[in-house]
């Protein structure tokens, strides 16, 4: 049944828990956190700056027009950020770009937000890291 597969937030609404306990408790806030992303995220950057986020980026090449710290690989970006926004094209090079090593360095407070293709993330590893509490959260547009 569809209802049984829904997220905790959806169950909170459907069960009218909000009427008993108030607002649904969100996991964390984005404001003020160090956020890393790739080239395609330039529109996302505009919105994150309004929250006071500290931006870094990764791309195949460093872009002189982008005024944020650049990391040549996603692992180094993850070492230096708390939130990874993944919004790149799926290619042979980017398949499972967010892998076990990247998730490990993100750590217990780390967040992955994927608005790109599902296969950018090693989903089995992500589930393991989430279940064990080894990464903080994941926001997935696709999986």
- The pLDDT, as a whole number, for residue 138 is 92
Q: Are 53 and 30 in contact (CB under 8 A)?
A: yes
Candidates 66, 73, 28; CA nearest to 49 is 66
pLDDT tens sequence across 89-138: 889 999 999 999 999 999 999 999 998 888 999 999 999 999 999 999 99
User: Residue 143 pairs with which residues in a beta bridge?
Assistant: none
- The pLDDT, as a whole number, for residue 4 is 44
Average pLDDT rounded to a whole number, residues 1-14:
62
pTM for this one?
0.72
Query: What number does CATH give the domain 27-140?
Result: 3.40.50.720
């Amino acid at each position: 049944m569809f209802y049984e597969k829904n997220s905790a937030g959806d169950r909170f609404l459907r069960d009218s828990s909000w009427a008993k306990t108030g607002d649904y408790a969100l996991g964390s806030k984005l404001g003020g956190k160090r956020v890393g992303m790739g080239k395609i995220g330039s529109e996302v950057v505009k919105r994150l700056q309004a929250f006071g986020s500290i931006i870094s980026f990764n791309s195949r090449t460093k872009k002189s027009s982008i005024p944020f710290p650049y990391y040549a690989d996603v692992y180094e970006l993850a070492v230096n950020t708390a939130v990874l926004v993944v919004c790149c094209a799926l290619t042979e090079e980017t398949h499972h770009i967010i892998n076990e090593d990247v998730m490990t360095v993100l750590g217990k407070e780390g967040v992955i937000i994927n608005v790109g293709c599902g296969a950018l993330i090693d989903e089995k590893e992500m589930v393991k890291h989430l279940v064990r509490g080894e990464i903080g959260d994941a926001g997935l547009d696709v999986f």
